[in-house]
Structures are given as structure tokens and as C-alpha cells.
Structure 1
């Protein structure tokens, strides 16, 4: 991946993440998991009928399996649409006839609506197709569909067309005039360092993928280096200025191929999920998108030739927005560290998580 310190991370000897969980006579296949507070783990599973089920593992209360598409902390959730995502007590997404409904804890819908209007509005002005808010309540937001096909399902020709269109539209979004500052949170290098530190803390607390118990010193070394490099960005000055002071620009903060669609009939690129939108350095989103291409190659979901097409588009966008090469590489390293920790919690990708962390020196 980065060509550094090959072989410096010992080979994985078993994921130590559950692939299946049995509870009340049901055998559930784990799709993914997340760390929580006080040692609680949340799991998203599939039951024997192929339905998504949310489950928690609390060290004090044991395993709790929620009924399909029901969650007392997400009172708007009902088993009526096709459930796509369910993180117990936090968030659920379902496909319904009108579009997609996000179910959130009380008070969360306002932030989603604001982000969809602000960042989504900038994206639409830049030429992206974006979801529209069709309705909202205290616990849910209804969003319209966006035309297009997920990038990983495109033909090689359409893959290239999609990235070409993205590389033109993205700089227009970044250069867009932001609205009142109170509508935006700021996510600087110090904030990114805090996110990275939190994920390393999660890996240590839960021994995700068995990494913490076997490679404690190695994890400490990687985290220290990444946080130090991010701190050096915070202490320095940005290479160029954006529409607001300090080089901050509109940022998606979760930009990856899965947040993008392409419509071959119209050559339109769709952009999704603006919930995490902030003002950040222009290098943040570009780095996140670039490293996700590395990740897809390691997952076996994308070939190197296709990844190079995406990387070239990212390089073109980086030049267009005035990104600084050193800052971009620092954010890439931070993204690799963060994703390595995130994917350590997913049993099928623990070897990939190890490889990502290995590439950090």
C-alpha cells in the first residue's frame, strides 16, 4: 500500500471477532459491529430469514436481541419498509416507497435536516444530484431517492465517466459560498486527531480483532506518530485560504465511494448522506476518498487499474482546490489509522485492518 515497513506487523492468528451469535435459539450472522460506552458492543446481524437484527452485548446485562425493525429508543421505526441499517438505540435506515427514512434518537432529526439543506444545497449548486427532505418528525427524516448506480456496480467505461464528472463538480462544491457560520461545525486537525485517538482507545478497550492484546506497543507507536503529524498541521498555517478564514471549506467528512452514485443515462453524479457535514481543511475529504479506494482494493472489491482512475480524478480535484501535498498525505495517514481501527471490529475484514495499520510504518 504505502511500501513502508513491509512485514513489520506480525501475521494475524484468528480474528477474535464473532462471525455468528446464538441467542434464544436463534443463530445470527454478524454483519458489522460498533463499540459503545461502558464496554457495550452493538452488532448488526442477519437472522435465518435474511432480516437485519440489532443486538447489544452489555457486560452487565448480557446479550439483548431486538425484534426486527423495532427499537424503543427509535420510536418511529416500524417493520413496514426494507430495513437497511440498524444500530441499536442509535440509528436505523429503511427503504420505503417514497424514498429513504432515517430513524434517529429524539432531537437528531433537526441536525440531519440542516445538513441536508446546507451541504446538500452546495452540492446541488455544484452539479451533484442530492436527496431532498420530504418530511420530518422528532425522530425521523424522510429523504427522496437519488438516481444512479453505486460506483462499484458500474462498467469500466461508466466508472471512468463517473470519476471524470466528480472531478469537475467537487471543486465547485468546495469553492461554494457557505451560509451563516452558526450552521456549521468546524473540524480541524486537532478534531481529527481526537477522532483517531478515540478509535485507538476503542481497539484497546475491546481488543478488536485481537490486535490490542498482541500488538499493544505497535498500536501505541502508530497512534503517537499520526497524532503528532496532525498536531503539526494544527500548529502550522494552511497553504491557501478558502471561502472562510483558516483554509476551512465545506466538507462531507464521510466521503467515500459508497456515498456516490452515477446515472449513465444522464452522466449525473449523486452525492449522499450529509449528516456529518462540517467546515474542514480541503485535504480531509480528498484523503478519505483516496484511502477508501486503497481499502476497496485490499477488500478485493476493486482492481488496481480502476483504483488508479479514481486516484487520478482525486489528484485533479486536489490541484483544482489548491490542496497542499504534505497536508494531504498527513490526512491520508490519519484516515488509514482510523479505518484500520474501524475495520478491526468487522470479523470479515480484520486481516484488511491489520494490513492498513501495517502500512503506517
Structure 2
């Protein structure tokens, strides 16, 4: 039975009062009608819709109708752009209540539902395998990969089950070779690696060792000068809103920095934990980050903090485009003599042209402080009232706020599409990112432009499946834009 419009508000009030007939009416009505009328029926009307449709099941739990609170929330924000989850649950309000982020949000248009894990796409070939065997027959999983100086050659970060830490490797014309810790580009690596577990390694460029109560970051000689300066600057700039690691030691050759550890899990680690209690902790952690991020970028600064901000490098859209084309050219150079990649090269060029055009065709948002490499592994959530922690300020600069937020959001979508995050948790985190963007007055077109630029970077990764996934996502987003 479908109620006339004037009867809806009474029905919702009766649901809240426990009337079983009203529950049955709303439960059996079409979901769009329920949500549309719920929004216009009272102060917190969707709590009644949720009660009726999911029979009181917790957030993220599918009901007998095959719906979940997530889907009702998505339908709600699609119909009603001025409502957030705090309107109809006991969760604290998000950082902003008018999500309008272009393709990924409202701005007068329907919000796209969260993507399904995986994506149908052309199976483009990849030059780097998922696993490789060394000369002893041990199988190594490839975690990260970078083009080397010679076309067709790559440097890898690999690991194998049963052994702690990661190793470096070369892939030359399809031949896999493990690298010793005597890295000519990182002369301090072998000594420092003996002090703990090697957890990150870009051969000849940079490495991180986790030791007792600290982290050791290894650079090429002289390479630690700017990172040490940035870390000291962040102590001044971020004081109060974020916890930053302390520098405990620097080497005389400026190739090693030892940082203090920050207690607490990262947002990435919280996202992998199981259980309803973990869902609540995950939501609270993202809210804690969002409050701190908005406070940092919207807050007033003293003279010392403003001086630090003014001294940071400026990264306008033109810089982003130049860097993007440099990466694209490197990819093309590495793959120029592979006949079977000809269509792949054409597809990449077309995608890069579109991304560059979108970055430059609209006026940029104001330049603000930017982390430069923000994702969920860089954000730590301590217990209690301790401010959230931030790691790795090597790339910090002045940039549009959209750059950090779009990068963080793309990482979340990658987790979802690769089945490393549930849809419910993706929605929780994604909603917080959009709410922060709203609070910071990020232009939707700038958010979308930087999001596409980040997806193009994913396409340039030599790891298996990355090009296929990212190009398909960019095509999907372009098609969605044409439909709007």
C-alpha cells in the first residue's frame, strides 16, 4: 500500500511510537518513496524508516528485503542533499552536512553508489608479474614496482611468507634477481637494517626500518636534509591539531633520520579489523581525523606557523600537469618497443590529455597546506584525547586542498575495488572525506580533476592489473559525467 503524501508524516510518527501497522506500511513501500517522504516528514525522520526497513538491525547489516542502512543512506543523500547520517542515527554529526562533490557527491545531482569490488575491464598486459621465483626456487610476492633507467627493466619491493620484512629485487627483460642489502645508492642500509625489520624499500632511493620504539629512514647521502627540515617545520605548523614524530637522531652524512614511534593503529589497520565493535572504532577514528583536518586548514595561525607555511614549495595545477606528463613519458619510453601495447599507449595518451585539460581549464582553489602523500597508512589514531598522528612529510607543500582529499579518497576506492574494505566501511570513510571537502569549500570540479589525476597515476604503475583497473575507472567516470 502506498500512502498519500499527507499521511506519510503520521506513519513515521507511528513507527517511532511502535505501531506495527505503520511499520508494515513503510516496510513494504518502494524505498525511493520512503526516503523522499521521510526527509520531509520531521526533524529526524529517517530513524523511523531505518527501524521499519531493517527491523532494527545494526548499521551495515542487510535486511530481509536485501537492503541495508548503507543503501538507505545513499538513497537519502541522492534525494536530499542537505542530510547526513547524523540526521537519522545516534552517530555524531559528520564534519559537514551538505555533501555536494561533483561526480562523487551531490551538487544537485544523484550521488553515485559505492563501486562494486573489482571492475569489468580490458585485461591489459603488465610487464611485472604478481610473483617471481629466485634462483633457490623461493617465491616472492611483488608489493611495489618502479621503472628502472633502462626500458624494460624494473626495480621491485618483494616479500615472501615466513620471512620478516621486505627485500629489493631487479626485473631485467623478464629475469628476476634479488638484491643484496649492500645498496650502492643507500650505503647506510646494511648497518641500519640490522637494527630492526625492513618494512619499506625502494632500491637505491629510500628505505624504512622499524626498530624498538622508533623508525629509521634511510636516504642516499645528503637526501635527508630536506625531509629533516620538513619534519621540524611540521612540529611548528601542526602543533595542537596533529601529533608528529620527533626526530631522535640524524647521521653526519645526512642519509639517516631516526623518528619516534606514535602509539596507535593507522586508519588502514583499523579498516582491516573485523566485528561490529571495530566498525564503531573505525567510524570514530575517521571522525577524529576529519575534525583535526578541518581545524588545521580552517584555523588561524600564529606568526611562526604562518612563516613556515609561506616557506613551503608552491604546487599549482601547472606543476601537477608537468609532473604527470613526465610520468606518462617515462611509461611510454619503457613500453615504446612492445607491439602488443600499441593500443594501450594510445589509451594512456588520451586519458592523460583529458586529465591535463581538466586540471587546467577551471580556476584553482586557494593554495593551502598539503601533506602531499596522504593516505590511510599515514594517519595514526591514538587513544583518548591525543590528536591523530601524521607520518612522512617529505612531500609537504602548498597545494589545493582537493589534492590531498582526492588522493585519500582514491585510496579508499582502491581498497573497496580490491576487496580490502567492506562497502560499509568505505561509505563511512568516503563520507568523511566528502564532508571535510565541504567544510573546506573545495570546488567539486577541482576535487574531480585531482581524483582523475590520481587514477592516472595508478594506471602508470607497472603492477599487474593497475593499468586495467585505473583506465576502466577513468572511462567509467567520464561516461558518468556525460550522463549528468
Q: TM-score, normalised by structure 1?
A: 0.84
Alignment correspondent of 1:133: 247
Q: Which deviates more from structure 2 when the two are superposed, residues 38-47 or residues 95-104? A: 38-47
Larger Rg: 2
Measured at CA, do residues 263 and 210 of structure 1 come closer, stay the same or move farther in structure 2, by a change above 3 Å? farther
C-alpha distance 349-325 of structure 1, shift in aligned 2 (>3 A): closer
Q: Which of 194, 204, 216 is matched with 2:322 structurally?
A: 194
Distance 1:294 1:48 in 2: 27
* Cα gap change, 1:173 to 1:212, in 2 (>3 Å): farther
Match of residue 219 from structure 1:
348
* CA distance in 1: counterparts of 2:468 and 2:125, whole angstroms: 9
Judge conservation of contact 1:109–1:140 (CA < 8 Å) in 2.
yes
Query: Superposition pairs for residues 1-361 of structure 1, below 5 Å?
Result: 11-12=122-123, 15-25=126-136, 27-29=138-140, 30-39=142-151, 40-46=153-159, 50=163, 51-57=165-171, 65-67=178-180, 69-77=181-189, 78=191, 79-80=193-194, 81-126=196-241, 128-137=242-251, 138-154=254-270, 155-175=278-298, 176=301, 177-180=305-308, 183-207=311-335, 212-233=341-362, 236=363, 238=365, 247-266=366-385, 268-342=387-461, 345-347=462-464, 349=466, 351-361=468-478
State the 1:231 CA deviation: 1.8
Residue 9 of structure 1 contacts residue 358 of structure 1 at CA under 8 Å; is this kept in 2? no
The verdict on how the C-alpha distance between 1:121 and 1:308 changes in structure 2, with shifts beyond 3 A counting, is: farther
Relative to 1, partners in 2 of residues 1:149 and 1:228: Cα closer, same or farther, differing over 3 Å?
same
Aligned residue for 1:147, secondary structure, equals: coil
Q: Is the 8 A contact 1:260 1:269 kept in 2?
A: yes
Secondary structure in 1 matching 2:215:
strand
Shift of 1:75: 1.7
Question: Does structure 1 conserve the Cα–Cα contact (< 8 Å) formed by 2:309 and 2:369?
Answer: no
- Most deviating of 11-20 and 95-104: 11-20
Higher strand share: 1
Q: Post-superposition shift, 1:46? A: 2.4
For 1:48 and 1:310, locate their aligned partners in 2 and report how far apart those are by CA, in whole Å.
Answer: 30
2:124–2:465 Cα contact (<8 Å) kept: no
Give the Cα–Cα distance (whole angstroms) in 2 for the partners of residues 188 and 325 of structure 1.
17
Moved over 6 A (4+): 208-211
Give the structure-2-normalised TM-score.
0.64
Kindly state the Cα deviation for residue 26 of structure 1 after the two structures are TM-superposed.
5.2
CA offset digits 1:99-130 (Å, max 9, x no partner): 0000001111111111112235323332x222
Residues in 2 aligned to 1:309 and 1:49: alpha-carbon distance in whole angstroms: 34
The 3 A distance-change label for structure 1 pair 214 and 316 is: same
Distance change >3 Å, CA 41–CA 182, structure 1 → 2: farther
* 1:69-114 deviation per Cα after TM superposition (whole angstroms, max 9, x unaligned): 4322212212311000111110110011130000001111111111
Would you say the 8 A contact 1:43–1:55 is kept in 2? yes
Q: 1:330 to 1:63 in 2, by over 3 A?
A: same
Once superposed, what is the RMSD of the aligned Cα atoms? 3.1
- Alignment gaps of 5+ in structure 2: 1-102, 105-111, 113-118, 271-277, 479-484
Which blocks of at least 5 consecutive residues in structure 1 are unaligned? Answer: 239-246
Indicate the structure whose relative CO is greater, using CA pairs within 8 Å and at least 6 residues apart. Answer: 1
* Number of aligned residue pairs: 343
Answer whether contact 2:375 2:411 (CA < 8 A) is retained.
yes
Contact 2:155-2:170 within 8 A present in 1 as well: yes
State the 1:199 CA deviation.
2.8
SS of 2:392's partner is coil
Distance in 1 (alpha carbons) for counterparts of 2:144 and 2:263: 27
Corresponding residue for 1:242?
Answer: none
